[in-house]
Copies of this chain bind each other. A is one copy, B any other.
Amino acid sequence: MLIPVDLGSRSYTIAVECGALAMVGDHLRPLGLGGKAVLVSDAAIRRLYGTRVAESLTTAGFSVTELDVPEGEPAKSLAVAERCWDALLSAGIDRTSTVLALGGGAVGDLAGFVAATYMRGVNFVQLPTTVLAQVDASIGGKTAIDHPRAKNLIGSFHQPRLVVVDPATIGSLPEREYRSGLAEMVKHGCVLDAGYFDDMERSAAALLGRDLGHVERLIAGSCRLKARVVEQDERDAELRNVLNYGHTIGHALEAASEYQRWTHGEAVALGIVAEARLAHRLGEATADTVARQRALLEALGLPTRIEGVDPAVVLAAIKRDKKARDGRIPFVLAPEIGRFRLVTDVKDDDVLAALGA
């Protein structure tokens, strides 16, 4: 399935199909780019998928340089970015060349930042291999590395030229990582599309069982929802805040627990529950709307009870959020399934209550 992302001169396609990683070269060739490609990945992902991607690129006429980065979040450091810039320069990469990120969200964020800043921007392609990266991180052009004191602090917007999503890669995901990705799909349903949320409810067992037919349909649906939002607000000015549903509190939970206790998706699941509760407390949503969100997350094996963190510490982390604008934190609320409302005047007490209830 081909999903267009319409951003004028920066438009691109998301190709979603089981087996698509063997077709990357075919998707890339028609774009008329230069002949050099750099495939950025970590050693574990490269062992699983590197050969088929590299062969597909070579067959399509590209010369391929492979570049290894650390696994997971440690890839997103300035030192790793610096090593990548060096490697690109040594490989003779120029503005017509293409950097491809093969892996999870961290590899995509790092490689995207390197591609965005090398020679003021070279072509970039996302080949996400986790659910989280497939339905969220790979779409929309957000790139970043971490600052020692703040995650994703250094980055830029740099749209990919192409995103290739191969849902078959979920076969290699550990259970916890797989389920974490589902939290972002739930998020899309909660605030953007009641029909999609219904489909997830009906398909919860099939999703947990990794039924590839259901997985492919729902991943593609999620990509389409995200693409529509990005099209309307490429630079995160207003509407795109909707994608932050569950993340204002979710990010703060991750920060307050030093990114050790929950995966990103688990923290988002907890954030969705807390922000649903906040909407109810503010008279914006019914108890049933809260209950449906919690029930779906539970059905997908995600945590829904915030325990063992000090609400005051979480509140302090919320106030350091990058989304803060002159001191005010925007919250996204779901007044009913599939709809959203931005609010910026939430009182601390209400946040604390939503965290502690």
Residues from chain B with a CB closer than 8 A to the CB of A86 are 147, 149
Tell me which of A39-47, A153-161, A258-266 binds B.
A153-161
Partner of A89, one of B95, B121, B147: B147
Residues from chain B with a CB closer than 8 A to the CB of A149 are 86, 89
Q: Measured between alpha carbons, how far is A229 from B144 in the docked complex, in Å?
A: 31
Within 8 A of B (CB), among A76-96: 78, 82, 85-86, 89, 94-96
Task: Tell whether A326 is near chain B: CB-to-CB under 8 Å.
Answer: yes
Interface SS of chain A = mixed
Does the CB pair A78–B82 fall under 8 Å? yes
Q: Measured between alpha carbons, how far is A149 from B96 in the docked complex, in Å?
A: 20
Residue of B nearest to A142 (CB): B120
Q: Measured between alpha carbons, how far is A158 from B330 in the docked complex, in Å?
A: 25
Partner of A78, one of B78, B153, B156, B322: B78
Partner of A153, one of B85, B116, B147, B157: B85
Task: Tell whether A4 is near chain B: CB-to-CB under 8 Å.
Answer: no
Task: Tell whether A325 is near chain B: CB-to-CB under 8 Å.
Answer: yes
Contacts A78-B78, A154-B85, A156-B156: A325 and B95 contacting too (C-beta < 8 A)? Answer: yes
Within 8 A of B (CB), among A113-135: 116-121
Residue of B nearest to A236 (CB): B120
Residues from chain B with a CB closer than 8 A to the CB of A338 are none
Task: Tell whether A313 is near chain B: CB-to-CB under 8 Å.
Answer: no
Task: Tell whether A173 is near chain B: CB-to-CB under 8 Å.
Answer: no
Task: Tell whether A34 is near chain B: CB-to-CB under 8 Å.
Answer: yes
Does the CB pair A117–B155 fall under 8 Å? yes
Q: What's the minimum C-beta distance from A35 to chain B, rounded to whole angstroms?
A: 6
Q: What's the minimum C-beta distance from A194 to chain B, rounded to whole angstroms?
A: 31
Interface string of A290-329 (1 = CB under 8 A from B): 0000000000000000000000000000000011111100
Q: List the 5 closest A-B pairs by CB distance, nearest first.
A: A34-B326, A120-B155, A96-B325, A96-B326, A117-B154
